[in-house]
């Protein structure tokens, strides 16, 4: 995030503007942890902790490591250092030497180099600048958005909208595209949504 594009810093402040998320950052600074242990430490439900983690992942402040069916989260010290440098830059009024590292969080994603390039083109500080018009690029964005949903969990339409809206205001279009392209499944009537199982290949 660089101050010539202040929205990145705004998203970071918004993501950290919650006591529970600040506590998560402090816990992960001591070592990686999973949702169950974090929920116990914070006396919060696991879905609530997952929600907070998704906010922190969106700005690249934490990283995810998967081991079998377990999800382990850890602090991204480089991202934290960049955030601190940007805050210092606000006071000093001088360009930061780390502003070129805006999109380092993309490197931790399990995507091809070509897909990461597209993601960097359209996403800044976890926020989708615009929905691509080209279908191949749309699919990259949709795969990334689908990764924000937990597998083996059912969502209401309101919950789906809320998650998508963290990244782009046009949640209706993106929700429809996620379903149409097979990344999310929807119960008839639209009451329930879930991530497409791994053994089913999205038509896109």
pLDDT confidence of 122, banded at 50, 70, 90?
Answer: confident
Distance CA 59, CA 39 (A): 21
Distance CA 12, CA 124 (A): 11
What pLDDT score does 165 carry?
86
Cβ 58 vs Cβ 11: under 8 Å: yes
User: Which own/partner pairs from 182-186 qualify as long-range (CB within 8 Å, at least 24 positions apart)?
Assistant: 183/142, 183/143, 183/145, 183/146, 184/146, 184/149, 184/160
Q: Is the pLDDT of residue 203 over 60?
A: no
Q: Is the pLDDT of residue 187 over 80?
A: yes
Q: Nearest CA to 114 among 147, 146, 135, 136?
A: 136
Q: Is the pLDDT of residue 189 over 90?
A: no
Cβ count within 10 A of residue 63: 20
Q: Is the pLDDT of residue 155 over 90?
A: yes
Q: Is the pLDDT of residue 5 over 50?
A: no
What pLDDT score does 166 carry?
83
Q: Nearest CA to 135 among 118, 111, 117?
A: 118
Distance CA 45, CA 5 (A): 35
Distance CA 77, CA 74 (A): 9
pLDDT confidence of 100, banded at 50, 70, 90?
Answer: very low
What pLDDT score does 7 carry?
53
What pLDDT score does 93 carry?
54
Q: pTM score > 0.95 for this model? A: no
Cβ 72 vs Cβ 34: under 8 Å: yes
Per DSSP, 129 falls in state -
Q: Is the pLDDT of residue 33 over 60?
A: yes
* Angle (deg, nearest 10), helices 171-180 and 157-165: 110
What pLDDT score does 185 carry?
93
Mean pLDDT confidence for 1-17: 62
The domains located in the chain, with CATH, are: 7-88 (1.10.10.10), 130-195 (no CATH)
Q: What is the mean pLDDT of the chain?
A: 81
SS3 assignment, position 123: strand
The token pair that represents 48 in the structure block: 């609530």
What pLDDT score does 6 carry?
52
For residue range 67-92, what is the model confidence (pLDDT) as tens digits?
877 888 988 877 777 777 777 766 66
CA 160 to chain CA centroid, Å, is 14
What pLDDT score does 170 carry?
85
């Amino acid at each position: 995030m660089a101050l010539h594009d202040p929205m990145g810093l705004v998203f970071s402040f918004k993501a950290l503007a919650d006591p529970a998320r600040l506590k998560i950052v402090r816990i992960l600074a001591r070592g990686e942890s999973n949702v169950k242990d974090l929920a116990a430490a914070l006396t919060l439900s696991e879905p609530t902790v997952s929600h907070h983690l998704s906010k922190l992942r969106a700005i690249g402040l934490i990283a995810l490591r998967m081991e079998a069916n377990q999800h382990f989260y850890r602090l991204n010290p480089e991202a934290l250092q960049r955030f601190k440098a940007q805050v210092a830059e606000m006071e000093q009024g001088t360009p930061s030497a780390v502003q070129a590292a805006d999109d380092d969080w993309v490197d931790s994603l399990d995507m091809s180099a070509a897909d990461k390039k597209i993601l960097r083109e359209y996403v800044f500080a976890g926020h989708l600048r615009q929905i691509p018009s080209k279908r191949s690029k749309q699919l990259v964005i949709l795969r990334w958005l689908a990764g924000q949903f937990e597998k083996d969990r059912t969502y209401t339409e309101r919950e789906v909208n809320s998650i998508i809206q963290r990244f782009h205001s046009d949640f209706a279009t993106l929700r429809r595209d996620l379903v149409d392209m097979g990344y999310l499944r929807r119960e008839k009537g639209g009451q329930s949504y879930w991530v497409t199982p791994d053994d089913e290949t999205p038509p896109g």
